[in-house]
Structure 1
Amino acid sequence: MCIGQLGNLLPHVAVPSILAQFLIPEWGLTGTSAGLLAGSFAAGYMLAVPVLSTLTDRIDARLILIAGSALSSVATVAFGIFASGFWSGAALWALAGIGFAGAYMPGLKALTDRLEPGDSSRAVTLYTSSFSLGVGLSFLVSQIVAEQFGWRAAFYTTALGPLVMMAVCLSLTPVTPKATTTKLLTFGPVLRNKPAMGYVLGYGAHCFELYGIRTWLVAFWTFVVAHNGGAGVLTPVAVSFGFSLLAMPSSIIGNELALRFGRHRAVSVVMVASACVGLSIGAFAGASPYALIPLLMLYAITVPADSGALTAGMAMSAHPESRGATMAVHSTVGFGLSALGAWCVGAALDASGGPNVPSAWFAAFAVLAAGILIGPLALKWSRGAPTLTTSSLDPDTVK
């Protein structure tokens, strides 16, 4: 499943990868419109995931995973063929996001439905942390292909990735979900599950920061290189790939720390640390790349370190009969705030003088810091509720 997910993620950041070098100058995009274009993927995902993830409580998630992967591949090819400006690009990229809505959380549900009973946090964390490796490959492949063969070729190439997940799905044993009496798109029990909602809102803060930096990382490092003459520094390709590559072990280690020291405590410390590192990067945006690289690599560790712990906490706090619905809310909040993060960073850049001004990047990183600091507040809000687990939960406990 992790290998299949790497394939599904190959198109994931194709648009952010080529924004600064190709789409912004060719289509005359502002920071705000560029953020909206990149965020349209998350917006499409957010609109579709409530239905698609909730359906996994009724039918085998494997079937939804196959359909979502196929749509993701087709929409990515269509972007390469037909996208010619902001509106066509946003519509097609939102369609790709809808396809991914049938791939990511349904993939997690397909995985957890096939695990033995018990603490599944390590398996969930491995799946969620492989997300970062897939994003790194997406950055790497998209930029290399675009530079060699043009940006449209990057979409034709990355569209092959989801076919890997379709092949994986064919090898999975069919599973019939347990019968549920809950109506489709009934999220009341999920919203009343305070422990799970704490993780959901914390995940939203995480996604705001994560997608904000992923959307603008290449543009930021392009600015850093240009601001310092471009000699003797890592390329945006190397920085974006390295940033994503560090995320996988970081997420796994973060979950292990959560198991040792307590999930709320570990996640809150990571989020506060990430805000501090982000503000430091913004404050030194005009400094030498050699001073910024260590800070950026530290940020690559703090940003994803809470991801696996948050998603595993959500999965373990969810009622077994509404786990798909809980995952739907989790993803809807997460990717909704992902789209908002990409847009807010672009808007902050526009409002502060544009992406060629160091102070504008401080404003951008300040926005990211403000977003992630919502996470500890959400976890503190949910702390008073009893912890729910998949082994002890029954319908009467969800209040």
Structure 2
Amino acid sequence: MWIENKWTALSLSAGAVVLSLTTWFSATAILPELRASLGMSPAAATWLTNAVQAGFVVGALVSSLLSLSDIMPITRLMAWASLAAGAFNAVALLEPGAASVIAARFATGAALALVYPPSVKLVSTWFRQARGLALGVMIGALALGSALPYLMRGVGAGPNWQLVLVGISVACVIASHLFGFVLSEGPHPYSLTKVDPRQIGAILRNRPVMLANVGYFGHCWDLYAMWGWIMAYAAAAQLAGLSVGNPAILAFAAIAMGAPASVAAGKMADHFGRCNMAALCAAASGAAALLIGVTFGGPAWAFLVVATIWGAIIIADSAQYTAAVTELADQTLVGSTVAFQMGVGFGITMITVWLLPMLAEVLGSWRWSFLILLPGPVVGAWAMLTLKKLPEAELLAGGRR
């Protein structure tokens, strides 16, 4: 199949990413059942989520170091990686033991590092104009794919955790077909480069790029901790007497709200400025981290409103940090620069994903645990407002800072 229309390419790319990224929280969505099946302690079970983060970090940094997405056809790379993610996701069906499942989750994350960052580069080859909107669609795909396991648990499979894993692995096979046989690079491809580990130094020395990266790192501080633990947080609020319905459905709704929000924020950023939109979303996310604790005791409608709005705004700025990197970086190193940004950023997510349940245990309640996420949005907003003042910011969104 030969695609000539950029919107068709964007739609199919986003669909493939949605299908692939369902593997990210496949274990988290069925955590109680998987814990019981594997005989894991609560502390060990956190590694069913964190192992994916760790695998993604290693995969992204190795990809950046070796410039994988800059030296080989990215659709072929993503096709094989998506197939691998589906295979590793299915390992838990064999119930081989906790250590083997955690190792498979690590490998799943490493495979996803060769799907999601290259997808950003792929879509950028189709869009010189409206890139913020296009990458907003891709971030929306990330949000929707991450949310779907919760929906599968809450509506379809219920506690039958094997059905969740089977459905997600099949989704990866479909995604692999789209990447390998349907999608191709657009009319604005980036130049290929050669493997040179010293290219990491070029990324680190680029101050505008690093400010966009610092903004992204702040964004990562709160994003995956909220996504990973919002179901547990809602369940704790329910145990405390708040009527929130099905916590899995609430988690799905909150995370999935990020999909339309990312698209809308991308479109607005193309008109009102990347830095402005990212800083605004970061500030709003920080406020939500406080307000979710305020509404923990009710009323229920306020808790639900804060949770869903937070789910929308916590991811809405993500595309703008990555779009900024594609515009500010050396154009022969775009794939490597994006992989570096995401590799370090997802490494940061491991800290808060690990810390949050420990903090809740120390406090004796989940209520104020999300306050630990507040520094991330503060740092993110500062970095983007600092970037806005630099002359290189003229390269952003056609001069819209």
TM normalised by structure 1 equals 0.87
Q: Tell me, what secondary structure is at the counterpart of 2:257?
A: helix
Amino acid at match of 1:367: I
1:385 aligns with 2:381: no
Structure 1 equivalent of residue 10 of structure 2: none
Amino acid at match of 1:183: D
1:267 to 278, 298, 316: 278
1:223 to 236, 259, 273: 236
The structure 1 segments of at least 4 consecutive aligned residues displaced by more than 6 Å after TM superposition are none
How far off is 1:200 after superposition? Answer: 1.7
CA contact (8 A) 1:212 1:345 kept: yes
Cα distance change, pair 161–300 in 1 and its aligned pair in 2 (3 A): same
1:147 aligns with 2:158: yes
Amino acid at match of 2:367: W
Amino acid at match of 2:115: A
CA distance in 1, matches of 2:14, 2:85: 17
Q: Which runs of 5+ in 2 are unaligned?
A: 1-12
Cα distance change, pair 252–303 in 1 and its aligned pair in 2 (3 A): same
How far off is 1:167 after superposition? Answer: 1.2
Structure 2 equivalent of residue 376 of structure 1: 381
Structure 2 equivalent of residue 397 of structure 1: none
Amino acid at match of 1:220: Y
1:158 to 151, 163, 168: 168
RMSD over aligned Cα atoms: 2.5
Structure 2 equivalent of residue 107 of structure 1: 119
Cα distance change, pair 78–182 in 1 and its aligned pair in 2 (3 A): closer
CA distance in 2, matches of 1:385, 1:188: 21
Structure 2 equivalent of residue 8 of structure 1: 20
CA contact (8 A) 1:125 1:252 kept: yes
CA distance in 1, matches of 2:123, 2:273: 25
Cα distance change, pair 374–24 in 1 and its aligned pair in 2 (3 A): farther
TM normalised by structure 2 equals 0.86
Structure 1 equivalent of residue 4 of structure 2: none
1:361 to 364, 367, 371: 367
Q: Tell me, what secondary structure is at the counterpart of 1:159?
A: helix
CA distance in 2, matches of 1:318, 1:41: 27
CA contact (8 A) 2:54 2:109 kept: yes
2:222 to 209, 232, 242: 209
1:138 aligns with 2:138: no
CA contact (8 A) 1:246 1:300 kept: yes
Amino acid at match of 2:373: L
CA distance in 2, matches of 1:332, 1:117: 25
1:43 to 45, 54, 59: 54
> After superposition, where does 1:157-176 map in structure 2 within 5 Å?
157-169=167-179, 170-173=181-184
CA contact (8 A) 1:254 1:306 kept: yes
> After superposition, where does 1:279-294 map in structure 2 within 5 Å?
279-294=290-305
CA distance in 2, matches of 1:209, 1:390: 25
> After superposition, where does 1:121-132 map in structure 2 within 5 Å?
121-132=132-143
Structure 2 equivalent of residue 297 of structure 1: 308
1:183 to 186, 196, 202: 196
Amino acid at match of 1:46: V
1:196 to 172, 192, 209: 209
| 212-221 or 380-389: bigger deviation | 380-389
CA contact (8 A) 2:153 2:248 kept: no
CA distance in 1, matches of 2:173, 2:217: 29
CA distance in 2, matches of 1:181, 1:279: 47
CA distance in 1, matches of 2:139, 2:240: 35
Amino acid at match of 1:94: F
Structure 2 equivalent of residue 276 of structure 1: 287
Amino acid at match of 1:244: I
CA distance in 2, matches of 1:125, 1:277: 21
How far off is 1:4 after superposition? Answer: 0.9
What is the aligned residue count?
A: 379
Cα offsets for 1:141-189 (capped at 9, x unmatched): 24445525x2233212211111122111212347886242561462111
Structure 1 equivalent of residue 30 of structure 2: 18
Q: Tell me, what secondary structure is at the counterpart of 1:371?
A: helix
> After superposition, where does 1:324-343 map in structure 2 within 5 Å?
324-343=335-354
